[in-house]
Structure 1
């Protein structure tokens, strides 16, 4: 909340109001200057204060694409202000530039310009053709009324301690909880995957969802969890306990997903290896929080 009668606490210059928070503050000036390296933006004189309707005056002078860039910039500026006041102040200018670029590109894909007259120059090359870049797949939200639990376990080479990461989200992409932990005395990657799934289901049982989708990127673990008969692997007891937990929900689905479809779980990997067990609600690290926001924005546009 702003204090309109006080000095702005972040930079110590000027009164604390919305205009100062997103325009005048030193950090916001630095963000605008950095964004001009990658975006076309108005000069600073265009951001002059023209009374309480300064934002309407500003936007009225530009076309729609520029309006979008300005609003995104101000939105991110407010995030930087909140990060300093309410979080740990870890959000950097560089990470903000990367986030805005990625968000703007994802929200406004640019179609390729067609060469309808065939007048582009022909280029001949003896080098082999480059590999076609396939658009990266992203996380998909569960149906309304369902919860999706993504789990992942991994084992570094020549190590007996693995890492588990889990994230539970609803149909809007909102994080219910996320967690990470080291897995001690772990023998291989499959055991890490199985233990991560079991741990995630144990945490999920505290929220008692009626309909749950469990998603893993290990084909072996998905097959074992879906099997009706007893699994003959040494991880059978782990899988059986996980199945018992799944039996407690009204409807439960087990799916395989590609690793690249869950960047949030991957972003928790370093925490899993470097920390003791850690359960997070809305206090996600800034890089992970930004990925969650991008996923949520995608799924909300599809609702």
Structure 2
């Protein structure tokens, strides 16, 4: 994972940190150098706290972090140690935002017209994906439903919102039961929302890093017993809508909590013959953000 050596500021959570809010400490990696912001202030122990400080001062998150780096302890940065970078009060997700996703959901469903109508509509499909207790971070196990026979990862660009404003981007895995959803579209919540159904990480990258969220290379690799059993790549420029449009619809008549992650849909869909099994390793790469790695477990 090369994210720590890319230019710009990215925000991670690492183990430890007695000054932090909850477990772990907020670390900013700036051009390869890592600093524990929670050592500069007890009020900078999490990404949400940093966003609050930026909001209170009417400054950008990067500006607040840059001002406090000189007061922060330098730390050794190890990609393998990173934790869930931001605790979102809610994780939401969008569906059929890429043509291949629309085609895949047509194929799995006995009611394909439902997905055709959404793909061609201005109003996107949005659904509540996960709560904090159902969300895992990098290097933790994502869940496969024990009552499902067809399960897939869904690599997605995540938009991070604080008080309904976009403050950064991350990677999400919208793990899904295609068997349950395909049986009936009304079973979508059961196909999507369950223990360990979502992973987020490895960091939050701000707009100074991700200047155009619709021009990012995204790749998926799945290993089983040390061998790659699926890999593919795409670009977010294939998205049929925009992040701005998805955020706009999420805000409508919806009083969002303080911190939200919105997953923007997938264009990397394994073939119908593929299903996840316990012990698989799923790796998602998104340009300028980094790499999210998770093993799998049956829940």
TM range (shorter): under 0.3
Larger radius of gyration: 1
Kindly indicate whether structure 1 or structure 2 has the higher relative contact order, using CA contacts under 8 Å at least 6 residues apart.
Answer: 2
Q: Determine which structure has the larger helix proportion and give its number.
A: 1
Give the TM-score taking structure 2 as reference length.
0.23
